[in-house]
A and B are shown apart, each in its own frame.
Chain A
Amino acid sequence: EVVMTQSPATLSVSPGERATLSCRASQSISIFLAWYQQKPGQPPRLLMYDASTRATGIPARFSGSGSGTEFTLTISSLQSEDFAVYYCQHYDSWPLTFGPGTRVDIK
């Protein structure tokens, strides 16, 4: 089983600042990684897939990078609507697994 870890657990950022979230896989997953955003009381929303492809309707301030075991989600200039929890998920093999999440809150 591929174990996904995320860091930091919580990221405190001021609006307008850059946020960098990390996701690590316990073994190589190529680029088979997705990022989701989840706000309270809502289901997860797809942000990124194949590590760096933005999903439909996702603003350009979101970008993804990485391959193998190390991945990054960057939010270039945080907007008020971006404060949420972010999860990574691999789909390289079975079982599918998610990371524990990174909470981005207002500094």
Chain B
Amino acid sequence: QITLKESGPTLVEPTQTLTLTCTFSGFSLTSSGVAVGWIRQSPGKALEWLALIKWDGDKRYSPSLRSRLTIIKDTSKKQVVLTMTDMDPVDTATYYCAHRRDYSHFDPWGQGILVTVSS
């Protein structure tokens, strides 16, 4: 059974850097075709894909947020870490990580973590 869980701060101040960790089980991020992505959802809004890291280390970012995002993996710890710099109140959202296989859909998703940006 594949599971993912997001962890990190639930409150950050404007201009700070957000660091979120996705801890997963049930799969290996060294297996061909496997990836982990980050997606966020502002309150009452639609889903927005942020970043993805593949089994071979290839990384992809949303063009609109590329300059602020970094994604890395630690396969031994079964973790994927996303950092987002220069946080702003508009970045308040639930942040999800999700498993992706074979260059396709996201399944399953973690439960998400609500991050509020406020001073």
Contact = CB atoms under 8 A, between A and B. Distances in A.
Partners in one complex: yes
Interface of A: 1, 32, 34, 36, 42-46, 49-50, 55, 87, 89, 91, 94-101
Contact of A95 (B60, B96, B108): B60
B24 interface: no
Contact of A46 (B49, B103, B107): B107
Contact of B109 (A43, A91, A96): A43
Q: Which of B46, B49, B109 has the most CB of A within 10 A?
A: B46
Main secondary structure of the interface of B (DSSP, over half): strand
Given A43-B98, A98-B47, 17 more contacts: A34-B104, A42-B111, A43-B96, A43-B111, A44-B109, A46-B107, A49-B107, A50-B104, A87-B46, A89-B47, A91-B103, A95-B49, A95-B61, A95-B63, A96-B37, A97-B49, A98-B49
A32 B106 CA distance: 12
6 contacts: A43-B112, A46-B106, A55-B105, A89-B49, A89-B105, A98-B47
Nearest to B103: A91
Contacts of B106: 34, 36, 44, 46, 89
A55 to B, nearest CB: 6
B46 A98 contact: yes
A55 B105 CA distance: 10
Interface in B68-104: 96, 98, 103-104
A78 B57 CA distance: 42
B46 A100 contact: yes
Contacts of A95: 49, 60-63
A97 B46 CA distance: 10
A46 B60 contact: no
A49 B105 CA distance: 6
Most chain B CB within a 10 A radius of its CB, from A42, A55, A94: A94
Contacts of A49: 104-105, 107
